[in-house]
A and B are shown apart, each in its own frame.
Chain A
Amino acid sequence: MDRSFINKYYPLYIESAVLTVTIGCMGIILSVIIGMLCALCRYYKIPILNAIAAAYTELSRNTPLIVQLFFLFFGLPKAGIVLSPEVCGTVGLAFLGGGYMSESFLSGLVSVKKTHLEAAASLGLNELQTMTNVVFPQAASVSAPAVCANVIFLLKETSVFSAVSLADLMYTAKDLIGMYYSTTEALTMLVIAYLIMILPVSIVFTLLERRMHRAGI
């Protein structure tokens, strides 16, 4: 392995890792918001929105991110909608993640027992009070593991961004391999970069899940 090569090019990786993480985080935050809204529309069976949310969830979950990105980046401009690679990455990840998050939140919401809803009603709590005091706290603890798994899944999916010419980690690695044939170094740095990005998140989530499990929530 060529040390000097690594020394020379690791700043490139840091730069592209920062870009990947930034767009990844924005996409994930958006997907949480979209997912919550969709899950609420479906849980409360709000007319029309319920159907739209359900259809969207299926579309986003049953197509690959790379195809979604190609459509956004190469297809949409032909309809007059031009998105920058950064916006494409964010929107694409949010589109994909929103569907997954919606499923996870919905499964938490429907897990709240009917007795609890009836108990809340018979205590005189109104819809909003029932939602905030009874439904959400319970749904949150049921949804949490799936939501965490989604976050890690979406972090990994960011690797596809290079397909829409975002200068992300994969892009940098491929560039270095193409230009200098220094495959080993380029790949090693790529792996390390992803480990640094994903491993801590994964460990924190595992610990959190264990604690919640022990608390019996």
Chain B
Amino acid sequence: MRGYEVLFAGNNFLRLLGGLWVTIRISLISIGISLVLGVLLGAAMTVRNRAVRAICKIYLEVVRIMPQLVWLFIVFFGITRSTGINLSGEAAAMIVFTIWGTAEMGDLVRGAFISIPKHQYESGLALGLGKAQLYGYVIIPQTIRRLTPNIINLSTRMIKTTALVSLIGVTEVLKVGKQIIDANRYDAPDAALWVYAAIFFMYFIICFPLSVFSKKLSDKFR
């Protein structure tokens, strides 16, 4: 059997897609939760209270300074050790990606809020809008326009980063790929080339359209 035939032999391709779905699912859930928590964090980062802002900033920097893989190790191995709770790789991944996603999302939300020029608030108020109206009609719509491309970018980053979960034992697309390669070790010795190339393009097919879409949006909203 030739290497590329392995890809489509039996249900191999479906299995790969299934493995991909594992990481995508982790990303989607983490992105969803991060979105909600990130908006709250972003709002907290713009309050007047210095202590609140400082705490948020510290949270952001602490999360950012470590590679995500180190966080995965800390949560996956560390929590198991210190609490005795046996965390599954998937659960650990979701915890890590939510904590990280929230931090990044919060920073984006803060950035979007402070990027609204002061005169937008002032001209809104000058028109006689109430505070709720000011935010509802003027500030929040503009914030969302600025935010959307960045949120999409962050999502592609998170999708790419979830590929790391194979290193804490989650059976995702890379692991499935390895299983397929091992199973066909004698029939198709060059399967690895095709399988990993296929996985490479799977990620590309997911992330590239998102990047293009985000770029289109940010050009349009500029």
Mostly helix, strand, loop or mixed at chain B's interface? helix
Of residues 140 to 172 in A, which have CB atoms within 8 Å of B's CB atoms?
156-160, 162-163, 170
Q: Flag whether A183 is at the interface (Cβ < 8 A).
A: yes
Q: Is the CB of B70 within 8 A of A190?
A: yes
Q: Flag whether B77 is at the interface (Cβ < 8 A).
A: yes
Q: Can you list, as one digit per residue, whether each of B65-79 has a CB less than 8 Å from chain A (1) or not (0)?
A: 111111001100110
Residues of A within 8 A of B121 (CB): none
Q: Flag whether B14 is at the interface (Cβ < 8 A).
A: no
Once A71-B196, A174-B73 are accepted as A-B contacts, the answer to whether A64 and B3 lie under 8 Å apart by CB is no
Q: Flag whether A50 is at the interface (Cβ < 8 A).
A: no
Q: Flag whether A194 is at the interface (Cβ < 8 A).
A: yes
Residues of A within 8 A of B196 (CB): 67, 70-71, 74-75
Q: Flag whether A58 is at the interface (Cβ < 8 A).
A: yes
Q: Flag whether A184 is at the interface (Cβ < 8 A).
A: yes
Residues of B within 8 A of A37 (CB): none
| Other-chain residue from A58, A76, A199 in contact with B211 (beta carbon distance below 8 A) | A58
Q: Is the CB of A194 within 8 A of B66?
A: yes
Q: Flag whether A213 is at the interface (Cβ < 8 A).
A: no
Give the CA-CA distance A163 to B104 in the complex, in Å: 26
Once A70-B174, A75-B197 are accepted as A-B contacts, the answer to whether A160 and B164 lie under 8 Å apart by CB is yes
Q: How far is the CB of A91 from chain B (nearest CB, A)?
A: 14
Q: Is the CB of A66 within 8 A of B166?
A: yes
Q: Flag whether A128 is at the interface (Cβ < 8 A).
A: no
Residues of A within 8 A of B200 (CB): 63, 67-68, 71
How many residues from A make CB contacts under 8 Å with B? Answer: 40
Q: Flag whether B189 is at the interface (Cβ < 8 A).
A: yes
Q: Flag whether A195 is at the interface (Cβ < 8 A).
A: yes
Residues of A within 8 A of B161 (CB): 64
Q: How far is the CB of B43 from chain A (nearest CB, A)?
A: 24
Q: Flag whether A191 is at the interface (Cβ < 8 A).
A: yes
Once A177-B77, A187-B78 are accepted as A-B contacts, the answer to whether A78 and B65 lie under 8 Å apart by CB is no
Q: Flag whether A198 is at the interface (Cβ < 8 A).
A: yes
Q: Is the CB of B156 within 8 A of A62?
A: yes
Q: Is the CB of B203 within 8 A of A170?
A: no
Q: How far is the CB of B203 from chain A (nearest CB, A)?
A: 5
Once A64-B163, A70-B174, A184-B78 are accepted as A-B contacts, the answer to whether A190 and B73 lie under 8 Å apart by CB is yes
Give the CA-CA distance A68 to B163 in the complex, in Å: 11
Q: Can you list, as one digit per residue, whether each of B175-192 has a CB less than 8 Å from chain A (1) or not (0)?
A: 001000100000001111
Q: How far is the CB of A179 from chain B (nearest CB, A)?
A: 13
Q: Flag whether A79 is at the interface (Cβ < 8 A).
A: yes
- List 18 additional contacts besides A170-B70, A181-B81, A191-B74; criterion CB under 8 Å: A62-B211, A63-B160, A63-B200, A63-B204, A64-B160, A64-B161, A67-B196, A67-B199, A67-B200, A77-B192, A78-B3, A78-B189, A79-B190, A156-B66, A158-B67, A170-B73, A183-B77, A184-B78
